């Protein structure tokens, strides 16, 4: 059986290589689960249909991508071709010289109307090495059946800090990013001035003091699946997680939970190409990258998962969910109705202060 | 040493034991052991002898019946309160303790004062000629030395009764014989009651006051060693103790003290009827190899002669061992002393051998 | 007669010497043969195990990057007093210009920035910004200065010929290396980049005039002349140019950090891992709000010991039970003990969540039985209790197996002997059975403790804030912050702690008393 398949695939490869250049394997690294599936459906399978000489191998170790890329680089043996990472990791990889710098004008397809890719992505280009794919947000979901709330429902992110009107356990991510911003915001800092306040003397202490007011009512999560599970089990009454996870909890599983879009924290996920690929693999990878980040493909992805396409030109093309048949536009974090009040994550600031603040945050947690 | 069934120091009364509820490994055991007696339970493995010992020690409980020590039933007394010393097959010396600590252990658990304890340990070690080995660990000792320590440990708290479960089984032959005498002498000196389990008949005959031969969960014969050897009561005992020649036959005539048996070869011999049925039933005639005379001329009057053919002659130093074919039995052994006038036979020779009728016993078939 | 005896004794002595020699030779042969037999394994362990560990541990003190990327700056900062609140002089700024110009081309500016950012937050973006900022710095004066001296300075080939003189390369090492780097990057030749001229200008300040003059090369005269005319470059102010890119270049902290972490070996990571940092007057403790690792180290040790103890308390009776079953049934039960290994660690940990959480099975059960009130549900997960329960469960087989294999070898006759000697069941257990299981207890405890101390997945999932281990921080620094130096330092300390505990254990129990079966 195995041998059969081997024979068939090598025959296939033979047939292809007779017609075109030799077949090539590309290793594409992503997060696994529903997210990888959305990429496979929207980009990888269509690309392989168009380019029969390319075989895409899916690797699901994006969570350790940064460490693994560094290890590969030190060993001088790069086995990955295209890697899905969040923006902050892309900045690290770029800083470390582990990711290739991208020329948006030549390597990335322009929008159908001729707008250059650089303008189409706009301010989402946070580092030279990173091609954003989706905008996702970390935001809150809350249960709609909490008796103690007497029919009230949270309307702003600051209700998370309001134990009087909204008693019960909350779940927050076990890291400082987003939490300290929300804390400062709810301590009276306007969203636009968060990072100035955080960088100022005593800024972090102020945020931690605000978090202190609810710390006995917090379950800290470290995996994206935690909060949906905790909400479903009734272990917490509200909690932060990625909007796509909440979408599937609410729309696919029908849990009595609602989204709280207020002060959602935008973040980006996208591709990097490891530095130092051999020429043939680089060429194939660039072809895949150009295809996977064009306007239509990014819009296609939102058929499978509720994350917003990173290109402005893709937004009008967002349609229905392929299985649920729901119009996906209102579920995008970028939808104007959801994005009235958003936290713009400052990558530069965090790349400088993340380690320092994380140490202090962990010390605070351990107290 | 006659033992009254009601006054014995250790008494088994109608004891039965089964492990699985189906097979009785000990079947209705009745045994009375006198104070100061050295009694050996002898038998092949699986005969129930060790189970009896374990019941006496308290590690197994009797399924039925009563065991009494010094007149008191002990069925419900836990092993550590029975005050019975025990020597195990593999000595069971505690490997993490020194020799002195091993010996002090039974005294410690009895809260014996320190000075008294040390004195007793020293005395016990001297008794087995192991003084000076106090600080050694058991694993640093030879097998014989371990054996002595195990013995000393079982005796150090001066129990009235000592049980020994094949204690010499792991020693080589020479050492084993040496230890047999030592144990026997210790027993004589201390006057302690010993119940000894072994499957080695030489050991049993050498050491015991009385031997209980076990087979199939029953005592086949309980007697002093000489009695056991010379007057086995059934063919199992006859064959188990020492060497024996057996000839199968049918009882022709039977009186109080003589049975006339027609052997399968046709010859008629007379034997002492020990365990035979009625006339016409099959019987097993047994003769000890050393009681058979090869030279017809040396036979006293009244002896019984029978034709034999020499099969094999083996020179064994102190004795000769001759294998004969007698009345159809090709394994008929005769042992003769290596005396200067002894004839050495060669295979194929046809001779007449003989024995006294009182040395010939008719037993169960 | 006397001599006879003496001779005999001597020959006996010689015989015994010969005999010993023969014995040694045959033993040596045996040893060599044995060594050859295990050589493949030995080499495998060395390459795949010891070498990577040593390499990882070495990272806890390794710090080459700063002196490699910023060699001119490091040299220039040698004369600067970090206790001084003044900024370094212009020469240092010119040095860092040359260093960074090369570093940007090599894409190493951000890497050194990341390294220094571990010690002083904010430096990463400072070094990242220079990529764009430096293009705006006007260094044409340096280029012109040398070109005006002689047009040959435009010719990289001529410069390369001149610098091939070892004496010159020794005199101006940084310029030599700058030229060499440029020629490697630009094999077609032409006019070198500005960093070479800046580097030359910096190095000429301190170069010995006499030695320059002694060089028997055409360039010697030009360099002497250049040195005399250097004051003509005094008007160039790279310091202000850097401050214009970012005001932070004007903060002494930045320069202090570079100077303090410029050596190729550093204690910085190790100090950090015990909540200390390098101060101007040697190591000092960090602020209370930043102290973290000592607390977590202690927590890790205490919790690992607790887990070991719990495993022992639970595992001992189980092992005892198993060891006293008939062989066939014992094997069956042993499979049941090992059954958890057939499921993934994540599944087992998640199962504990389902059982222990506030709306979980155990709480529900107790509410139904009215043991607790619905409002008084117990918090049993996301804290130390949860971690101890889950990890004890996961590590229990590692305690049971060595205990079982040791108990199996203890004949029943020991306990029987003890009882027959007058010991009650408890005394027989305490004084005879238990001491003989010490080897199994030792092996199981060492195994469980060492596994526990390095665990991080379970504590991360069920540990909440109070149940995380030092390994969680190591994992964070390996995979998230990429601060491998600190991760290595923490790992080294953990390694050291284990060695110390091992030593203590050896002293108390004796390592010979450890038996895995």
CA distance B180 to B30: 27
CB A310 within 8 A of CB A301: no
Contact residues, chain A, for C358 at CB < 8 Å = 169, 235
What pLDDT score was predicted for residue A140?
A: 97
pLDDT digits (tens, 9 = 90+) for B300-359: 888 888 989 999 999 998 899 999 999 888 899 999 888 887 778 889 999 999 998 888
Cβ of C422 within 8 Å of Cβ of B96? The answer is no
Q: Using CA coordinates, name the residue in chain A closest to C375.
A: A168
Q: Using CA coordinates, name the residue in chain C closest to B56.
A: C420
B72 touches chain C (CB under 8 A): no
Query: Which of B81, B96, B109 faces C435 most closely, judged by CB atoms?
Result: B96
| B316 and B216, same domain (yes or no) | no
What pLDDT score was predicted for residue C78?
A: 92
Last residue in a domain, options B235, B261, B286: B235
Contact residues, chain C, for A364 at CB < 8 Å = 289
Query: Which of B57, B83, B109 faces C427 most closely, judged by CB atoms?
Result: B109
> Hey, where are the domains in chain C?
1-58, 71-276, 293-513
Cβ of B109 within 8 Å of Cβ of C422? The answer is yes
| B158 and B248, same domain (yes or no) | no
Residue B166 gets the label, from left (phi > 0), alpha (psi -120 to 50) or beta, of: left
- Could you tell me the pLDDT band of residue C182, with boundaries at 50, 70 and 90? very high
CA distance C430 to B257: 63
Same fold, A16-129+273-331 and A138-266+339-366: yes
- Among A285-289, B223-227, B361-365, the minimum mean pLDDT is found in B361-365
| B192 and B74, same domain (yes or no) | yes
- Could you tell me the pLDDT band of residue C214, with boundaries at 50, 70 and 90? confident
| B158 and B175, same domain (yes or no) | yes
| B18 and B82, same domain (yes or no) | yes
Establish whether chain B is in contact with chain A, requiring a minimum of 3 CB pairs below 8 angstroms: no
Helix H or strand E encompassing C243:
helix C238-245
B/e letters for C432-471, b = 16+ CB within 10 Å, e = fewer, are bbebbbbbbbbbbbbbbbebbbbbbebbbbbbbbbbbbbb
What residues of C are in the B interface, CB distance below 8 Å?
411, 413-414, 416-425, 427-428, 431-432, 435-436, 438
Structure tokens at C12: 């006996």
Cβ of C422 within 8 Å of Cβ of B106? The answer is yes
- Percentage with pLDDT > 90 across chain B: 62
CA distance C362 to C356: 6
| B209 and B258, same domain (yes or no) | no
- Could you tell me the pLDDT band of residue B6, with boundaries at 50, 70 and 90? low
B86 touches chain C (CB under 8 A): yes
Cβ of B105 within 8 Å of Cβ of C419? The answer is no
- How would you classify the pairing of strands A308-309 and A131-143? antiparallel
pLDDT digits (tens, 9 = 90+) for C354-405: 899 998 999 999 999 999 988 888 989 889 999 999 999 999 999 999 999 9
Domain count along chain B? 2
Q: Which residues pair with C130 in a beta bridge?
A: none
Structure tokens at A116: 């250059």
What pLDDT score was predicted for residue B41?
A: 96
- How would you classify the pairing of strands A257-272 and A218-221? unpaired
The boundaries of the domain holding residue B269 are: 243-364
| B146 and B256, same domain (yes or no) | no
Structure tokens at A3: 């041998």
CA angle (C417, C423, C425) in 5-degree steps: 95
pLDDT digits (tens, 9 = 90+) for A163-217: 999 999 999 999 999 999 999 999 999 988 999 999 999 999 999 999 999 999 9
A234 touches chain C (CB under 8 A): yes
The answer on pLDDT for C86 being more than 50 is yes
Cβ of A234 within 8 Å of Cβ of C359? The answer is yes
Helix H or strand E encompassing A238:
strand A238-242
Q: Which C residues, 271 through 290, put their C-beta within 8 Å of a C-beta on chain A?
A: 289-290
Q: Which C residues, 8 through 47, put their C-beta within 8 Å of a C-beta on chain A?
A: none
Contact partners, residue C38, CB within 8 Å, separation at least 6 = none
Last residue in a domain, options B218, B235, B252: B235
Cβ of B94 within 8 Å of Cβ of C425? The answer is no
Contact residues, chain A, for C476 at CB < 8 Å = 358
CB A344 within 8 A of CB A333: no
Q: How far is CA C398 from the centre of its chain?
A: 27
CATH code of the domain containing B125? 3.40.50.300
Chain C nearest-CA distance from B297, in A, is 59
**Mean of the pLDDT values across residues C486-506?**
91
**Mean of the pLDDT values across residues B214-235?**
92
The answer on pLDDT for C346 being more than 90 is no
CA distance A199 to A195: 6
What pLDDT score was predicted for residue A1?
A: 39
**Mean of the pLDDT values across residues A328-356?**
89
CA distance C396 to C448: 8
Query: Which of C108, C468, C483 faces A355 most closely, judged by CB atoms?
Result: C483
Cβ of C465 within 8 Å of Cβ of A365? The answer is yes
Last residue in a domain, options B206, B235, B264: B235
Cβ of A360 within 8 Å of Cβ of C290? The answer is yes
In-domain check, residue B4: no
Model confidence, pTM: 0.84
pLDDT digits (tens, 9 = 90+) for C289-339: 889 999 999 999 999 999 999 999 999 999 999 999 998 999 999 999 888
| B187 and B119, same domain (yes or no) | yes
Contact residues, chain A, for C473 at CB < 8 Å = 362
> Hey, where are the domains in chain A?
16-129+273-331, 138-266+339-366
Contact residues, chain C, for B58 at CB < 8 Å = 419-420
| B51 and B188, same domain (yes or no) | yes
- Domain boundaries C293-513, corresponding CATH code: 1.10.3720.10
B164 touches chain C (CB under 8 A): no
Class of domain A138-266+339-366: alpha beta
Contact residues, chain C, for A348 at CB < 8 Å = 125
Q: What is the CA radius of gyration of chain A?
A: 22
Instruction: Give the end-to-end CA distance of chain C in Å, rounded to a whole number.
Output: 61
Q: A61: burial class by Cβ within 10 Å (0-12, 13-18, 19+)?
A: middle
Structure tokens at C474: 């190591």
Cβ of C416 within 8 Å of Cβ of B79? The answer is yes
Rounded to 10°, the helix C361-368/C345-356 angle is 30
Contact partners, residue C198, CB within 8 Å, separation at least 6 = C94, C97, C98, C101, C139, C142
CA distance B210 to B204: 9
In-domain check, residue B5: no
A100 three-class SS: coil
| B215 and B260, same domain (yes or no) | no
pLDDT digits (tens, 9 = 90+) for C401-420: 999 999 999 998 999 999 99
Cβ of C413 within 8 Å of Cβ of B92? The answer is yes
Cβ of C461 within 8 Å of Cβ of A63? The answer is no
| B124 and B266, same domain (yes or no) | no
Cβ of A67 within 8 Å of Cβ of C478? The answer is yes
CATH code of the domain containing B261? 2.40.50.140
C237 touches chain A (CB under 8 A): no
The answer on pLDDT for B5 being more than 90 is no
What pLDDT score was predicted for residue A367?
A: 81
Q: Which CATH superfamily is domain A16-129+273-331 in?
A: Periplasmic binding protein-like II (3.40.190.10)
ipTM: 0.87
| B213 and B272, same domain (yes or no) | no
Contact partners, residue B231, CB within 8 Å, separation at least 6 = B223, B274, B361
The answer on pLDDT for C457 being more than 50 is yes
Residue C474's φ and ψ, nearest 5 degrees, are -65, -45
pLDDT digits (tens, 9 = 90+) for A229-248: 999 999 999 999 999 999 99
CA distance A108 to A130: 11
CB C368 within 8 A of CB C383: no
The answer on pLDDT for B158 being more than 80 is yes
A95 touches chain C (CB under 8 A): yes
Contact residues, chain C, for A94 at CB < 8 Å = 110
A209 touches chain C (CB under 8 A): no
Chain B nearest-CA distance from C395, in A, is 29
CA angle (C341, C343, C344) in 5-degree steps: 100
CB count, 10 Å around CB of C315?
Answer: 28
CB A243 within 8 A of CB A135: no
């Amino acid at each position: 059986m195995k041998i059969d398949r081997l024979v068939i695939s090598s025959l296939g490869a033979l047939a292809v290589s007779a017609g075109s250049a030799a077949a090539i394997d590309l290793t594409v690294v992503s997060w696994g689960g529903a997210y990888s599936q959305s990429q496979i459906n929207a980009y990888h399978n269509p690309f392989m249909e168009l380019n029969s000489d390319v075989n895409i191998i899916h690797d699901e170790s994006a969570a350790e991508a940064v460490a693994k890329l560094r290890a590969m680089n030190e060993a001088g043996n790069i086995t990955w071709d295209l890697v899905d990472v969040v923006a902050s990791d892309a900045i690290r990889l770029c800083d470390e010289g582990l990711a290739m710098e991208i020329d948006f004008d030549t390597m990335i397809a322009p929008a159908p109307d001729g707008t250059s890719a650089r303008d189409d992505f706009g301010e989402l280009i946070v580092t030279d090495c990173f091609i954003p794919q989706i905008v996702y947000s970390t935001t809150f979901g809350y249960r709609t059946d909490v008796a103690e709330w007497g029919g009230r429902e949270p309307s702003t992110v600051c209700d998370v800090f309001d134990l009087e009107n909204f008693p019960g356990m909350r779940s927050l991510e076990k890291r400082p990013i987003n939490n300290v911003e929300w804390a400062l915001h709810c301590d009276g800092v306007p969203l636009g001035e968060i990072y100035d306040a955080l960088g100022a003397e005593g800024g972090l202490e102020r945020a931690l003091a605000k978090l202190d007011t609810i710390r006995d009512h917090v379950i800290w999560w470290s995996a994206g699946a935690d909060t949906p599970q905790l909400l479903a089990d009734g272990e917490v009454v509200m909690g932060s997680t990625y909007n796509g996870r909440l979408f599937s909890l609410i729309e696919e599983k029908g849990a009595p939970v609602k989204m709280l879009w207020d002060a959602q924290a935008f973040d980006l996920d996208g591709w990097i190409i490891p530095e130092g690929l051999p020429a043939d693999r680089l060429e194939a990878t660039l072809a895949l990258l150009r295809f996977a980040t064009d306007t239509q493909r990014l819009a296609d992805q939102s058929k499978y998962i509720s994350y917003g396409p990173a290109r402005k030109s893709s937004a009008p093309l967002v349609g229905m969910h392929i299985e649920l048949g729901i119009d996906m536009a209102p579920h995008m974090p970028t939808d104007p109705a959801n994005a009235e009040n958003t936290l713009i994550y400052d990558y530069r600031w965090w790349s400088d202060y993340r380690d320092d603040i994380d140490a202090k945050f962990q010390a605070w947690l351990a107290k | 040493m006659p033992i009254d069934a009601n006054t014995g120091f250790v008494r088994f009364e109608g004891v039965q034991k089964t492990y699985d509820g189906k097979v009785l490994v000990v079947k209705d055991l009745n045994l009375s052991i006198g104070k100061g007696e050295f009694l050996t339970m002898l038998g092949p493995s699986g005969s129930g002898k060790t189970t009896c010992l374990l019941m006496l020690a308290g590690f197994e409980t009797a399924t039925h019946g009563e065991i009494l020590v010094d007149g008191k039933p002990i069925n419900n007394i836990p092993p550590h309160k029975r005050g019975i010393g025990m020597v195990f097959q593999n000595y069971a010396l505690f490997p993490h303790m020194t020799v002195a600590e091993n010996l002090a252990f039974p005294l410690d658990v009895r809260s014996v004062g320190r000075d008294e304890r040390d004195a007793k340990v020293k005395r016990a070690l001297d008794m087995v000629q192991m003084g000076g080995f106090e600080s050694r660990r058991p694993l640093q000792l030879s097998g014989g030395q371990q054996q002595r320590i195990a013995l000393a440990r079982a005796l150090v708290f001066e129990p009235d009764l000592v049980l020994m479960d094949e204690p010499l089984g792991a020693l080589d032959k020479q050492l084993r014989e040496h230890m047999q005498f030592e144990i026997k002498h210790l027993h004589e000196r201390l006057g302690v009651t010993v119940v000894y389990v072994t499957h080695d008949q030489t050991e049993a005959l050498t050491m015991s006051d009385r031997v209980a031969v076990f087979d199939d969960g029953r005592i086949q014969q309980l007697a002093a060693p000489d009695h056991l050897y010379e007057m086995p009561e059934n063919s199992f005992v006859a064959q188990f103790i020492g060497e024996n020649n057996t000839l199968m036959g049918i009882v022709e005539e039977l009186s109080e003290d003589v049975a006339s048996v027609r052997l399968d070869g046709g010859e008629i011999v007379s034997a002492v009827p020990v365990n035979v049925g009625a006339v016409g039933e099959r019987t097993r005639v047994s003769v000890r190899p050393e009681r058979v005379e090869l030279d017809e001329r040396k036979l006293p009057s009244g002896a019984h002669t029978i034709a034999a053919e020499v099969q094999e002659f083996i020179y064994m130093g102190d004795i000769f061992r001759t294998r004969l074919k007698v009345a159809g039995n090709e394994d008929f052994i005769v042992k003769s002393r290596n005396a200067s006038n002894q004839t050495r036979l060669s295979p194929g020779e046809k001779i007449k051998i003989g024995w006294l009728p009182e040395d010939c016993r008719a037993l169960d078939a | 007669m006397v001599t006879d005896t003496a001779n005999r004794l001597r020959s006996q002595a010689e015989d015994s010497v010969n005999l010993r020699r023969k014995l040694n030779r045959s033993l040596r042969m045996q040893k060599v043969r044995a060594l050859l037999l295990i050589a493949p394994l030995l080499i495998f362990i060395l390459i795949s195990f010891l070498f990577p560990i040593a390499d990882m541990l070495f990272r806890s003190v390794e710090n080459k990057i700063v002196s490699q990327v910023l060699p001119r700056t490091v040299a220039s900062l040698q004369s600067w007093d970090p206790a001084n609140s003044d900024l370094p002089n212009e020469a240092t700024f010119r040095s860092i210009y040359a260093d960074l110009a090369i570093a940007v081309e090599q894409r190493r500016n951000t890497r050194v920035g990341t390294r220094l950012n571990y010690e002083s937050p904010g430096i990463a973006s400072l070094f990242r910004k220079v990529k764009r900022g430096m293009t705006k710095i006007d260094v044409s004066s340096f280029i012109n200065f040398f070109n005006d001296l002689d047009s040959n300075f435009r010719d990289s080939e001529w410069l390369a010929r001149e610098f091939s003189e070892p004496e010159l390369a020794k005199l101006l090492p940084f310029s030599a290396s700058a030229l060499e780097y440029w020629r490697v990057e630009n094999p077609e030749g032409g006019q070198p980049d500005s960093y070479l001229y800046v580097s030359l200008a910096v190095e000429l300040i301190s170069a010995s005039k006499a030695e320059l003059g002694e060089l028997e090369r055409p360039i010697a005269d030009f360099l002497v002349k250049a040195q005399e005319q250097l004051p003509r470059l005094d008007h160039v102010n790279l310091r202000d140019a850097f401050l214009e890119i970012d005001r932070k270049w004007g903060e002494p902290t930045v320069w202090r950090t570079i100077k303090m972490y410029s050596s190729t070996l550093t204690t910085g990571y190790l100090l950090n891992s015990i909540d200390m940092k390098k101060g101007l007057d040697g190591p000092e403790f960090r602020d209370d709000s930043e102290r973290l690792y000592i607390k977590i180290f202690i927590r890790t040790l205490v919790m690992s010991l607790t887990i070991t103890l719990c495993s022992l308390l639970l595992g001992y009776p189980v092992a005892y039970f198993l060891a006293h079953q008939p062989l066939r049934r014992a094997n069956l039960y042993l499979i049941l003990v090992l059954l958890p290994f057939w499921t993934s660690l994540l599944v087992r940990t998640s199962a504990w969540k389902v059982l222990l959480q506030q709306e979980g099975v155990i709480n529900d059960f107790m509410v139904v039985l009215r043991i607790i009130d619905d409002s008084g549900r117990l918090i049993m997960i996301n804290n130390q209790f949860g971690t101890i329960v889950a990890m004890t469960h996961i590590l229990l087989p590692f305690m049971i197996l060595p205990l079982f294999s040791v108990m199996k070898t203890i004949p029943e006759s020991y306990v029987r002997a003890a009882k027959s000697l007058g010991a009650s069941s408890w005394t027989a257990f305490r004084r005879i059975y238990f001491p003989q299981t010490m080897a199994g207890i030792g092996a199981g405890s060492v195994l469980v403790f060492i596994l526990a101390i390095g665990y991080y997945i379970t504590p991360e999932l069920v540990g909440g804030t109070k149940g995380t281990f030092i390994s969680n921080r190591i994992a964070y620094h390996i995979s998230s912050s990429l601060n491998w130096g600190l991760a290595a330092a923490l790992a080294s300390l953990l390694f050291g702690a284990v060695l110390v505990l091992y030593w203590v254990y050896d002293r108390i129990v004796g390592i010979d008393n450890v038996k895995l079966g």
